[in-house]
Structures are given as structure tokens and as C-alpha cells.
Structure 1
Amino acid sequence: MNNSLTIVPAGAGSGKTYRIETTLADWLDKDEVRADRILAVTFTEASARDMKSRIRARLLQSGRSDDALALGRAYVGTIHSLGQRLLTEHAFAAGNAPTSRLLEDTERDLLIRSQIGKAPSLQPIAENLSRFGYRFTPQGGTAEDQFRGKILSTIDLLRNLGPRGSDPKLLDDLIDTMKVDYGKTKKQNKLHAALKSAVQNMFKAFPNDVSETVSAKTRRATLRADHQLIRSAAQTDRLQTDWAAWQKLRSLFISNSNSKLPQGYDELAEAIIEAADGLELHPGPLNDAIEHITGLVNGAQEIVAAYDMEKRQRGLIDYADMIARTEEILRETPDTLQAVLGEIDCVVIDEFQDTNPVQFALLWRLAQHAPKALIVGDRKQAIMGFQGADPRLSQALDDQFPDALDPLRCNWRSVPEVMEFVNSVGAGLFGTDYEALTPQAAPGCANSPIQYVNEISILLSICYA
């Protein structure tokens, strides 16, 4: 670290955009930064346009029209546009053709899907989808559709990890974590024998379902389903591998104040429930989970390797490449990193909480070496989890550089009545990690009751994100 670093935790309505605008203006006014040597990044096109227009407007208001024009040459935009620009300017260092074509989403999916059937690690799962929990549902479609969806999401997660996603040791770490989380197991044969005996005792005592002994329609349907499960478990070997059946047997219906079942039924059902509760200590589910994650991770890594090779041969890139390959060349070719750093005076990052690991690596590689760096974000507003974003990265940065923290503590958007409520909820959700924002608006200045409702809804959605 040889720069001036400022980290700004900024809650909703605290004025983070204004802070970015005024900080850049101050640097420009003091001639510490040139307009064409600004690198400013955010995560949506709309936010990038707004940031650029605000900086330009500030320059024009100060009579600095030349700087306003020079801003067009600066790196101001989304992280993907930054990656695309650097890949274009340093194509040979990245091993790309200077005119690499960006894949459309449909083309990307087609190339990836064409590799799924060629990945040998996926075959054990594909040959027994039901064993690993894939079965038709109205919402998710066929078992095959769900399996393909799981593969694609695994591929996206691995690519968001950067080089870590292709590391063979990643799988070992995942399996070790699974074993720790699952806990110690008991002997499989003993657990299975106890449950098998319990369901056979029930089926022997009640070979027909007892649904007609209750009046409620929903209760009758539940008892019929229970009986079908018990009969299947007693007459087949499904309990050897069907952990969903074990789970269902843990919640059999028994008598209550409104529905009385035949004498002896409840005792036998409770014996089944007690035996099925051993599922949490049964090694079978853990073994299957390990086999499942092994096939998915190895298969996804095989597909990504083949997909990357095909892209390079065809002179193609996709959106993930804009980040992953840019991070790679900055990490592996110091001359390229120095060339980029030689063109910038500062790094400004907005919405930093929405970075995934490879985005974090790319941005931090630049920010930690730039003469000036301003990083703004709020972990409570993280919304990009579906893209692998991890707000713990932002937390780790805060913890490593406590002296660089300069939080915004005021709220300029909401009335005190709303902020009192939100601060109370925030403290309950996040404890000491939540920093209350002091409202600056006058009491009761909302235009209508609807505005109160809208503000509360928006702020609560942020708190629960």
C-alpha cells in the first residue's frame, strides 16, 4: 500500500454519490488528479452514466470545460466496460485477438451446453438423477432440466472465483467443510435396520390405510400418502438410498384433538419417526452429497476448460471474460499492470459490496497501487448474491484498514419518523454491526402517507437484503 486510501461505509440515503462527486471535485480543484486519468467504476449502466454526468456537470460549473471534455477519455463506467477496454488495449498480453467478438448470451449457453454431455465426471449423476434429488416439479421442469440448471449455476460460481475456481484443491476444501458441518455419523446398518423394522411393524399392523377414520379431507389425503410411503419402504429397498423418504417418515401424521386414529397406530408411527430421526447421523446422505458435489465441481471445471479453449480458438469472449481475463493479465503480467497504473491518478469504486471474488481481485489490484483510492459501499445493500457477490470481502477490507474508514452517518432522504423505525429494525438485525443514521429531513415533511409507506418498504428491503 503506497496510496491514500479512503473507505466510506454509506447507508441508504446517506449521500454516497455526493461524497464521490465532491471528493473527485476536490482532487481536481487541487490538481491532484487529472480528469482524463480518473478510473471510476460502478455496477450498473445507469449508475455509471449518472456518475459521469455528475462529474462533468461539476467541472462545467467550475468553468473547467477542457477537463469536462477530457473526462471522455477517462475510465468511467461499469466494471465490465472497464474489463472490455483493458482487454482491447492489452489484447496481446491477454492472449486474445485484437478484434475478439463478444458472445451473445444465447451463443454462450449453446457452447456450454454442447460440452455438458462430454464431461465424464457428470455421468454418475446423470445416470441416476433421482438418487441425487432431481425429479420433475411444475416449477422446475424435468429432472434433466434441473440438472442442467445446477451445472450452469455451478459453472457461473466457479468462474466468479477467478483462478480459485479451477483449482483442484477447491473440491477437497468443500468436502472437508461438508464433513465438519454434517458432524459425526453412526453405523449405517444399525440405523437402517431400526427404520426398516419400524415400517414393517406398521405395515403388518395396518396393511390398509386408515384415512377413513378421520373426517377432514386434508387429513385423509395426508394419511393416504403416509400409507403409500410406509408400504413402499416396507416392501422395497428404497430406504438404502432414498433420503427424501427418510425425511418424510420423520413427519408422519399422528392423532390430535380433532383427529383420532385407531388404537396402536400412534405408537407405531412414533417408533418410525424416532428411527427416521437417525437420518441426521446416517453416513449415507453425506456420502451421496460428497459424490454429488464431486461430480458437479469436477464436471463444471471440465466444461469451463473446454469452453475456454473453444473461445480462444474462435476469437470469442463473454461477459465473465471481461473480468476474469483482465484480472489474470494484471496478476500475471506486471508490465501490463504498471502500464494501466501509469494512466490513472485515482481509483473510485461505488457499490463495492456487490463485488464477487474475481471482481474484488481485479479492482483491489488497481486500488491498492493507485495514488488515491476511494471505495464506497454498504454491506446491508448487497443485492448481487445471485452473481456470486460476497459482502464479506468488503468486511475483510474494513477490518484490514480500520484507519481508512470514514463512514457517512447522516440520512438525507427520509423523515425522522421513518429513520427511527429503520434504525430500530437495523439494530435488531445486525446488532453492533449496524450504525444508525441520523435523519436530516424535518419531521413530518413527507408529501403524503404513501411516501411514508414507500420509504419504509424500500429501507426494509435494504435491511433484509
Structure 2
Amino acid sequence: MTKTLTFISAGAGSGKTYRLTEILRQKLGSGTLDPAGVIATTFTRKAASELRERARSHLLSEGDLTLASQLDQALIGTVNGVCQKLLERFSFEAGLSPDLSVLEEADANSMLRQCTDESLDDKTMASLNGIAIRMGVEHWQADLTMLLAQARANNIGAEQMAGFATQNVGDVLRLFGRPSAIDLDAQMGKVIGKVLPKLVQAAEGSSVKKTTTYIEKLEAFSKRLKVGQYTWADWTKFATDAPEKGLSGLVDEIRELAATHLSHPRLQSDVRDYVTLLFAASARVLDRYQARKRELGTLDFIDQETLLLKVLEQPQVAATLTEELELLLVDEFQDTSPVQLALFMKLTRLARETIWVGDVKQAIYGFRGSDSELMGAVIDALPELGGGIDVLDQSWRSRPSLVSLVNRVFVRAFDSIPKEQVELQPQRKELSDASAYELWHLDAKNVDQRMEALAQQIGALLGSGRQVVDKMTQKL
């Protein structure tokens, strides 16, 4: 039997949910699709429920009560909801209890944070704090969190982290060049000691702020240099900074030496230590996290996905699904993680028909942690996979003036994507002459102030008498 694969390119407001509902309605209503042969994944539970109920409502309106009731046989849910159902069904093949205990995402993140706190010793934190200060890293904890998220999303275990650390260090330091054989700290101290008195003398009587500020910063850098408490921002700053034009020639030697900071052995050591410490810490966290889950007899969402990947490799499971799976629908395809993508590729090979739905623009930017390069490669490879692209090119959500503005911006910004996959044709009537786009400047210094400023702007908008189009009546 011929298998088909279609990618539906659907920008925001282009009628994606309607199209998915129509696909289900037409295939179920024509009798060419058995509800039990459907697997559909969405990004949220709300979207899954909406898809199911829209299809059911239409079948009921057509008087097909039997088919409407049978729709519950379709496997429609989030990626992890679908994974759980399939693992429960093939629990024997997976070597699992059919009564799986699965952590909700919030609980899994809470457990991961606790394991992180327990895994970091004082020595590691002190080392990371020191390096972070020198490198200008505001929160190294955020880098650790991102590293853990990437490791989990790509199914990378603790035992692999050391190898990846070595590879990453090598890749980065190749850009820095060979470390200098010169003691750059001592050389910089010597140059500053020679240049600074001349600069101070030449600047006597000068009221140019640029010069006085430069001298103050250079004196402070000299002091930090003597005790080894400088930051790498100091070096990069003095590679470009200079006093007023008439005096800038005096500091040429400082600029030239500061510009060699990438070859500074201590900087390269900081980079190596920072990456190595983070990867080692993440390995300890992952080990503790896995152990904690084993103690509790539970799985997280990523465990579900990786387990199902292994189960689908079993010939008897693959044969069963090949016989049963008539339609695979994947919504928000661009948001899938690398593990989920591997899962969808396996299911695609088993399904009679597969439809991926997503926004190619989001695929480029990798929203929600997806791998943008991988997504782009998959979409580019569609012809080789025997697939085609169907573009939803009409905007049903936004005002024509706003659609026009977005088109002008996006067509230029996404010039690597064919224009017809970016540009939308507005379908709504323009019922208001109010501006389609406004820029609000929130004069605030912290989150609370921004929220207060935003509330004031919204209040002012509501008090201005601005009219909007009612979604149901399509009137102001």
C-alpha cells in the first residue's frame, strides 16, 4: 500500500485547526478512515480536546451518532499523552508495569532542581562563581539549567557528558588560537606603568570627560591586575577604548596588547574549566535525577519518549502498528524536540498516511527548545521522503492592515523560505481606522514596575474608547 506524507505550512491565524478538523471529518465521514486507526498529537491538552470535539460535533450535526461515539477510539492527545497510551498498550514488550507512574512536567522540573542543589558541592560552586565573575556571566546556574534541558531533550546520558565537554572545549578554543607564551599580565602591568604617568601628565588641565574617565578606569585596571582580580571585560574594553583624540596615540601599546586577550592562557583556562565544570555538574545531576526516579518507581516525559522509541524497534510492535495505523497527524511539528522527531519519523514509516502541521518560520528560530537546524533539514528533505508541502496562505485572524505589516517584515526577515510560505492573504474586512500596531515604552526598572506600567497602558487603552471587532458578529 502506498504511504503518503504531507507537511502543511500554517502560519498564525491561517486556519490550521479548521484544516485538521476537516481532514478528520472528511476521512471519517467518507468511511475511508477507521477512528481506531488515528493517532494525532498536539502541543497542549486543550488543543487535543478542541480537535476531538470539533470533529465529534460535525459528525453529530451530520447525524452520524455511531461514528461520533467511535471517535473516542482515536488516540488524540499531547505527545506524552500518546506515548503513555502506547506504552501502556505495549507494556509487556517494554518490560514495564501497565500502571505507569509519570511525573507531570512541573513535578519533574521541581525534582531536577532539588537534585541540582544536592549535587553541587561548595568547591564546584566557588570555582564557577569565580570564573563567572571574570567572564561576565551573570548567572552560571542558567547555563547549567539550559545544559540539562538540552541533554535530556537529546537523550544524552550522564556517562556521555565528559566526552561532550572535551569536544565542546576543543571546538571553542580552536577559535581562540594558540595560547601566548608571554606572561600577558606582567607585560600589561609593565606597559601601563610606562604609559599611565605620561598620559596623566599630558592630560593635565584637560576637562574632556572621555579622557578623565579613561584614566580612572586604567588606574583601577592596573590595581586589579596586580592582585589578579580583573575581568576579561577589562581586557576587551581597553582593546578599543582611548582618551580624547589628541592623546589616543599614547595608549596604542595598551590597545594592541589588550587585543591579544584571546591568546591569554588564563582566559583559555577559564573557558576550559567553565565548560568542564558545567558538564561534570550536569552529569552528577542527571545521575542523581535518574536514581531518584528509580527510587520512586516513576518516569518523566522524556523517559516515555525514549522508551517508546525502543519499543517501536521491536518487529512485533512495528507489525501491529503498520496494520492498524491509518493516519498520523502531528500538530505544531516545528516545536518537536530531537527525541520527538525521531519518534515521529518511526511512526511515519508505519502509518499509511502522515500529515505534519507547523509553521516553517518557527522552525527556523527553534521555539520551545526544538532543534532549528534539524527541523529545517527535515523540511528540506521532504521530497526525498516522498512528501510534499501544502501551504495555508490565508489569514482569518488578523486585520488586513496588520497582515500587510507582518508580510512586509516577515518576507524580508525569512528570505531563505519561499515567499508563498511566508506571505498571508488577509480574509477579514477592515472595519476600523485605528492603528494596527502600537509600540508601548514601559518606563520601568524591574518586573513589578513593568507590570504596573503595562496595567496603566492597558487601562488607558480601555478608557480611550478604542473599538475592536467582535469575533462572533464580526462587527465593532
Query: Is 1:302 aligned to 2:284, yes or no?
Result: yes
Give the 3 Å change call, closer, same or farther, for CA 107–56 of structure 1 in structure 2: closer
Shift of 1:74: 1.6
For the aligned residue pairs, the C-alpha RMSD in angstroms reads 3.8
- Measure, in 1, the Cα distance between the counterparts of 2:320 and 2:294: 24
User: Which residue identity does 2:188 align to in structure 1?
Assistant: L
Select the residue among 340, 347, 356 that pairs with 1:366.
347
> What's 2:326 paired with?
345
Q: Is the 8 A contact 1:129 1:135 kept in 2?
A: no
Match of 1:248 among 215, 228, 237: 237
State yes or no: 1:376 paired with 2:357.
yes
C-alpha separation between the residues in 1 aligned to 2:402 and 2:133? 45
Distance 2:31 2:326 in 1: 10
Q: For the structure 1 residues 147 and 424, does the alpha-carbon distance in structure 2 shift closer, same or farther, using more than 3 Å as the test?
A: closer
Q: How far apart, in 2, do the equivalents of 1:114 and 1:295 lie?
A: 19
State the one-letter code of the partner of 1:229. Answer: F
| CA pair 45-410 structure 1, distance change in 2 beyond 3 A | same
Q: Distance in 2 between matches of 1:104 and 1:286?
A: 41
Match of residue 174 from structure 1 = 168
Question: What is the CA distance between 1:367 and its match in structure 2?
Answer: 1.8
1:83-102 aligned at under 5 Å gives the runs 83-102=83-102
CA deviation profile, 1:75-123 (whole Å, cap 9, x unmatched): 1111121123233333454454443433366754564355447759x88
Over 3 Å counting, the alpha-carbon distance change for 1:283 and 1:400 in structure 2 is farther
Q: TM-score, normalised by structure 1?
A: 0.79
For residues 440 and 386 of structure 1, do their structure 2 counterparts lie closer, same or farther at Cα, with a shift above 3 Å needed?
Answer: closer
Alignment of 1:293 onto 2:287:
no
Instruction: List alignment gaps of at least 5 residues for structure 1.
Output: 141-145, 257-262, 455-465
Distance (Å, rounded) in 1 between the aligned partners of 2:265 and 2:61: 69
Q: Which runs of 5+ in 2 are unaligned?
A: 439-476
Q: CA deviation at 1:298?
A: 3.4
Q: Deviations over 1:310-347 (max 9, x none)?
A: 3123212223333333334334x443444445543210
Task: Please report how far the alpha carbon of residue 183 of structure 1 lies from its aligned counterpart in structure 2 after TM superposition.
Answer: 5.0
| Corresponding residue to 1:279 among 258, 261, 266 | 261
Write the deviation string for residues 110-159 of structure 1: whole angstroms up to 9, x where unpaired: 64355447759x8874342244215899x96xxxxx34443232111100
Write out aligned runs for 1:130-141 (5 A): 130-134=129-133
1:353 Cα offset (Å): 0.6
TM-score normalised by L of structure 2: 0.77
Change (3 A) 1:379 1:287: farther
Larger mean Cα displacement after TM superposition, 373-382 or 290-299: 290-299
> What CA deviation, in whole Å up to 9, does each residue of 1:162-195 have, x standing for no partner?
2578645444543443245x15335242655543
Match of 1:161 among 136, 151, 154: 154
User: Equivalent residues in 2 for 1:28-427 (5 A)?
Assistant: 28-103=28-103, 108-109=108-109, 111-113=111-113, 115-116=115-116, 125-134=124-133, 146-163=139-156, 167=160, 169-180=163-174, 182=175, 184-185=177-178, 187-189=180-182, 191-192=184-185, 194-205=187-198, 214=207, 224-233=216-225, 235-238=226-229, 242-255=231-244, 266-282=248-264, 284-331=266-313, 333-382=314-363, 385=366, 387-402=368-383, 404-408=387-391, 410-413=393-396, 414=398, 416-427=400-411
Over 3 Å counting, the alpha-carbon distance change for 1:90 and 1:400 in structure 2 is same
Q: Which moved more, 1:100-109 or 1:60-69?
A: 100-109
C-alpha separation in 2, matches of 1:76 and 1:184? 53
Cα distance in 2 between the residues matched to 1:109 and 1:438: 38
Q: Is the 8 A contact 1:125 1:292 kept in 2?
A: no
Q: Deviations over 1:185-209 (max 9, x none)?
A: 352426555433333324454689x
Number of matched residues? Answer: 433
Q: Secondary structure of the residue that 1:316 maps to in structure 2? A: coil
Distance between the aligned counterparts of 2:168 and 2:112, measured in 1? 24
User: What amino acid sits opposite 1:359 in the alignment?
Assistant: Q
Work out whether residues 169 and 272 of structure 2, in 8 Å CA contact, stay in contact via their aligned partners in 1.
yes
Residue 433 (structure 1) aligns with? 417
TM-fit CA distance, 1:65: 1.9
> Deviations for 1:38-65, whole angstroms, at most 9, x for unmatched residues?
1111112232222222222232233322
Query: Structure 2 CA distance, aligned partners of 1:114 and 1:431?
Result: 44
Counterpart of 1:460 in structure 2 is none
Deviation, structure 1 residue 255: 1.7
Q: 1:451 to 1:177 in 2, by over 3 A?
A: same
| 1:106–1:206 distance in 2 versus 1, CA, 3 Å | farther
For residues 369 and 35 of structure 2, the distance between their equivalents in structure 1, rounded to whole angstroms, comes to: 33
CA distance in 2, matches of 1:415, 1:381: 21
Alpha-carbon distance in structure 1 between the residues aligned to 2:15 and 2:390: 11
